[in-house]
Chain A
């Protein structure tokens, strides 16, 4: 879709903004260019719509060298969003959004009706249409900026730090809405930011630049966190990349046990007889109501008479990530995370140790295709093998090679997770006992083929292998057993 071939940008004063960049961005993908200031990420973005002309190399769009198209014509076909929105203060919101359609000669009426649609699309009320930019908040202005870029429905969007000038809460909202919008629109987006969190949250692929305009790594967010190409990238993605990786592990693959769950109508005596310090009260549809501390239960009556401690939060097996599950465990008064199914009914519970053991295995499956295959060859069951080309950290230095491999890689990642995932939750009752007795140690113990918990093993075994380089979660999972 967008291809950089040995593109450099040098300025007369001797600075090099971009140095021999080769990169291919997939159609319909959201590629984030990220890096410290002065790393050439904005220059790279601006070379796509000829706001900056390369000193060497070619940029091509859908196979055509962009220099073959007159700059204004090229730009009318590419959406452009900048940091402070750059709205035209003398035009109404509606006319701002209608800018490109008007430039294309659509006629006022058609351009304005298109603009009105776009305002709705970005979540601005129709009453805003007649206002002027100074009457809008920063977040609203930025929405208008996005709407304006979508004016003529361009296939490509260039976004230069579009959300960095608004406060963190508004930024979060804008990011979430932007992702929703992208799901609908499937634009090919190049997005520049200096914020690695934003990059990981939004990007299908991330290109990390280092000072001097060199591409340090081009990869999926998962792989970037798991396998930073070098110290610079590792440093840039930050200390807590281990925790961040959990966002890419599906909660559906986590092992849950039945746990101390009772209907709220159950007698207090039943709760005591479970022998657990906490009991989860559920309603008739098994939706969780709250935790009851067994020690504080009233002498008689039902759980409904007891004071219930709030749940903290639950996690959805379908949709939430392992990060949410682990967080739920840490926040829960009973230290047990409550997993719920699509109907909101309790599917089971797990504590942080149980979760982290499984997470370590699952995240290894997701993110370390090469390593995982090696580790699993011993038993051959449930080993996450993947069709993804081996883009080892060394290989990604070459932008072109990584670019070609990347789209396939992105698709392969969820598949790689799949073999490990269904293994874990299988039979909630059976693994429960094993897990309860000695969770962390069990998780890394040698496999016993007869053990009902065996399906969880392959994933757990990977833990061992990955532990050395892994994040805090993985270390937590192994710690109990091995050290």
Chain B
């Protein structure tokens, strides 16, 4: 208990010192870097994951390939990938983005695919039978009905990316990981804890954003179903 109080005190001290709010090593700058890495990789991952997830879920073709690719991608260690790409491509933002995209695609892809595939065949049949084109079935029926799962995939991916973007600091890039990496190398415990706290706070904010998003875009008609699963 004392430990915890001490740590909170340390974090409080760190957060309130004015040095943390200015300059290249200040929280705003590091946060902006962090959000840039996270945002960009999430954007790419969403494009890839949604496109393939919707395609495969809608057509029903390539389901096995999707599962295989997604599971393989999950098995790749993010840190190892960052180091590998940096070694091969040199120091830049790209290796970090590649690693984070690889991390974020599987949950988006799998959840999107499962969401679309899980649409009641009767509903799909009725949609088609009433004269919807393939695109209309996808956009007016399958996507709205898969939305809870699509958002779940995005949320999992976003939180993982936000937390994992700290690895960018290892090859000497910025982001909130700097505090943790630098703190560990300097044995500056306060720095490590403070940096971690900001990352945790960011993850919580992401979670809150997705909760709000879900309320806004998921039809009330689907909520009871989702509550069960």
Docked-complex contact B125 and A103, CB < 8 angstroms: no
In the bound complex, what is the Cα–Cα distance between A85 and B145 (angstroms)?
16
Docked-complex contact A134 and B219, CB < 8 angstroms: no
Docked-complex contact A82 and B129, CB < 8 angstroms: yes
CB of A292 closer than 8 Å to a CB of B: no
Given known pairs A51-B125, A84-B122, the reply for A89 and B222 (CB within 8 Å) is: yes
In the bound complex, what is the Cα–Cα distance between A469 and B163 (angstroms)?
83
In the bound complex, what is the Cα–Cα distance between A103 and B225 (angstroms)?
27
The residues of A that contact B128 with a CB separation of less than 8 Å are 51, 75
CB of A99 closer than 8 Å to a CB of B: yes
In the complex, which residue of chain A has the Cβ closest to the Cβ of B124? A86
Docked-complex contact B130 and A75, CB < 8 angstroms: yes
Candidate in B126, B131, B133, B141 with the most chain A CB atoms within 10 angstroms = B131
In the bound complex, what is the Cα–Cα distance between A298 and B32 (angstroms)?
103
The residues of A that contact B123 with a CB separation of less than 8 Å are 86-89
In the bound complex, what is the Cα–Cα distance between A85 and B120 (angstroms)?
11
Docked-complex contact B127 and A90, CB < 8 angstroms: no
Docked-complex contact A75 and B222, CB < 8 angstroms: no
The residues of A that contact B144 with a CB separation of less than 8 Å are 90
The residues of B that contact A72 with a CB separation of less than 8 Å are 131-133, 136
In the complex, which residue of chain A has the Cβ closest to the Cβ of B222? A90
In the bound complex, what is the Cα–Cα distance between A89 and B122 (angstroms)?
11
CB of B221 closer than 8 Å to a CB of A: yes
From residue A145, how far is it (CB to closest CB) to chain B in Å?
8
In the bound complex, what is the Cα–Cα distance between A80 and B132 (angstroms)?
12
In the bound complex, what is the Cα–Cα distance between A100 and B141 (angstroms)?
13
Docked-complex contact B125 and A88, CB < 8 angstroms: no
Docked-complex contact A103 and B136, CB < 8 angstroms: yes
Among B122, B131, B224, the residue within 8 A (CB) of A76 is B131
In the complex, chain B residues 123-160 whose Cβ is within 8 Å of any chain A Cβ: 123, 125-133, 136, 141, 144-145, 147
In the bound complex, what is the Cα–Cα distance between A317 and B114 (angstroms)?
61
Docked-complex contact B131 and A73, CB < 8 angstroms: yes
Docked-complex contact B225 and A100, CB < 8 angstroms: no
Among B125, B129, B136, B145, the residue within 8 A (CB) of A90 is B145
Give the interface size class of chain A.
Answer: 20 to 34
From residue A433, how far is it (CB to closest CB) to chain B in Å?
63
Docked-complex contact A132 and B133, CB < 8 angstroms: no
CB of B220 closer than 8 Å to a CB of A: yes
In the bound complex, what is the Cα–Cα distance between A76 and B127 (angstroms)?
10
From residue A143, how far is it (CB to closest CB) to chain B in Å?
15
The residues of A that contact B145 with a CB separation of less than 8 Å are 88-90
Docked-complex contact A99 and B130, CB < 8 angstroms: yes
In the bound complex, what is the Cα–Cα distance between A100 and B132 (angstroms)?
9
In the bound complex, what is the Cα–Cα distance between A134 and B226 (angstroms)?
12
Docked-complex contact A51 and B126, CB < 8 angstroms: no
The residues of B that contact A134 with a CB separation of less than 8 Å are 221, 224-225
The residues of A that contact B131 with a CB separation of less than 8 Å are 72-77, 100, 103
Docked-complex contact B122 and A80, CB < 8 angstroms: no
CB of A201 closer than 8 Å to a CB of B: no
In the bound complex, what is the Cα–Cα distance between A84 and B122 (angstroms)?
7
Docked-complex contact B221 and A91, CB < 8 angstroms: yes
CB of A470 closer than 8 Å to a CB of B: no
Candidate in B125, B126, B147, B225 with the most chain A CB atoms within 10 angstroms = B126
In the complex, chain A residues 49-85 whose Cβ is within 8 Å of any chain B Cβ: 49, 51, 72-77, 80, 82-85
From residue B151, how far is it (CB to closest CB) to chain A in Å?
13
From residue B82, how far is it (CB to closest CB) to chain A in Å?
40
The residues of B that contact A80 with a CB separation of less than 8 Å are 126, 129-130
In the bound complex, what is the Cα–Cα distance between A74 and B131 (angstroms)?
7
Among B130, B220, B222, B224, the residue within 8 A (CB) of A103 is B130
Docked-complex contact A86 and B221, CB < 8 angstroms: no
CB of A133 closer than 8 Å to a CB of B: yes
CB of A391 closer than 8 Å to a CB of B: no
From residue B104, how far is it (CB to closest CB) to chain A in Å?
26
The residues of B that contact A74 with a CB separation of less than 8 Å are 131
The residues of A that contact B136 with a CB separation of less than 8 Å are 72, 103
Docked-complex contact A76 and B130, CB < 8 angstroms: yes
In the bound complex, what is the Cα–Cα distance between A209 and B2 (angstroms)?
81
Docked-complex contact B129 and A148, CB < 8 angstroms: no
Given known pairs A72-B133, A76-B131, A88-B141, the reply for A133 and B221 (CB within 8 Å) is: yes
The residues of A that contact B141 with a CB separation of less than 8 Å are 88, 90
From residue A45, how far is it (CB to closest CB) to chain B in Å?
10
Docked-complex contact A100 and B221, CB < 8 angstroms: no
From residue A176, how far is it (CB to closest CB) to chain B in Å?
24
CB of A164 closer than 8 Å to a CB of B: no
The residues of B that contact A148 with a CB separation of less than 8 Å are 130
The residues of B that contact A89 with a CB separation of less than 8 Å are 120, 123, 145, 219, 221-222, 225
In the complex, chain B residues 196-229 whose Cβ is within 8 Å of any chain A Cβ: 219-222, 224-225
Candidate in A72, A73, A145, A149 with the most chain B CB atoms within 10 angstroms = A72
CB of A182 closer than 8 Å to a CB of B: no
In the bound complex, what is the Cα–Cα distance between A75 and B147 (angstroms)?
27
Docked-complex contact A132 and B221, CB < 8 angstroms: yes
From residue A137, how far is it (CB to closest CB) to chain B in Å?
15
CB of A247 closer than 8 Å to a CB of B: no
The residues of A that contact B125 with a CB separation of less than 8 Å are 51, 82, 86
In the bound complex, what is the Cα–Cα distance between A74 and B219 (angstroms)?
30
Which residues of A pack against B, CB within 8 Å? Answer: 49, 51, 72-77, 80, 82-92, 99-100, 103, 132-134, 145, 148-149, 151, 158
Query: Besides A134-B225, A145-B126, A151-B130, 11 other CB < 8 A contacts?
Result: A75-B131, A76-B131, A86-B125, A87-B123, A87-B126, A89-B219, A90-B147, A99-B130, A100-B130, A148-B130, A149-B130
In the complex, 9 of the A-B residue pairs with CB atoms within 8 angstroms, ordered by the A residue number, are A72-B133, A75-B130, A80-B126, A82-B122, A82-B125, A86-B126, A89-B221, A103-B132, A103-B136
